[in-house]
Amino acid sequence: MLVFWDQRLVFLATPKTGSTSIATALESLAALSIQRPPVLKHTNVQRFHRFVGPYLRAASGADFTTVALMREPLDWLGSWYRFRKREDVGDPKNATTGMSFDAFARAYCARPQPEFANVGAQSRFLAPEGRQPVDRIFRYDRIDQFVHFLEERLGCEILLPHVNVSPPAELGLAPETEAMLRKAMARDLELYESLA
């Protein structure tokens, strides 16, 4: 999470949407940067409005605009799968080593989810049902629009580095798995399509 005080702007770091690259590029411009631990770095919109937003409002006398990125849902899940294939995954229970993406996707659809597939949902992070959503959500596949928005608001050129990139992996899905996944991710897919 990055807070830009003068611009009354907060970047909420949706997991698996390039947030480490964005923080690397913009941390020096932010009044507040929370990068660790992950539970704080990836503060979702509901926690922001419950805890951080009221504090910022009390301290500044103004509301802050929240912005975030959203990745195409199946691509986002593939990024989690690839991330958890890395050799440096902290908890072995979360590793996807030796597992196909199809098996990971089926585990994500299972109820209850096994721990390695319990990665949340972008819709709950960005726009939980019955709660105030992020003010501006940008599509990850159009990150240039997000960068342009930030350049306008922050008044500087922004060059994003490529950091924390997950290793490549085969992301094929059986047709029945993809159908199951699309059903399980219906809210995420609907939210993503609304950003077009």
107-135 per-position pLDDT tens digit: 999 999 999 999 999 999 999 999 999 99
> Which token pair is 159?
């060059």
Q: How many domains does the chain have?
A: 1
Q: What value does the mean pLDDT take over residues 10-22?
A: 97
Q: Which domain holds residue 21?
A: 2-194
In this prediction, residue 6 carries a pLDDT of: 97
In this prediction, residue 163 carries a pLDDT of: 84
For 137, phi then psi, to 5°, come to -110, 125
Strands (E), the chain: 2-4, 9-11, 32-33, 65-70, 136-139
State the number of CA atoms in the 13 A half-sphere of 97 facing the CB. Answer: 10
Q: What value does the mean pLDDT take over residues 161-178?
A: 91
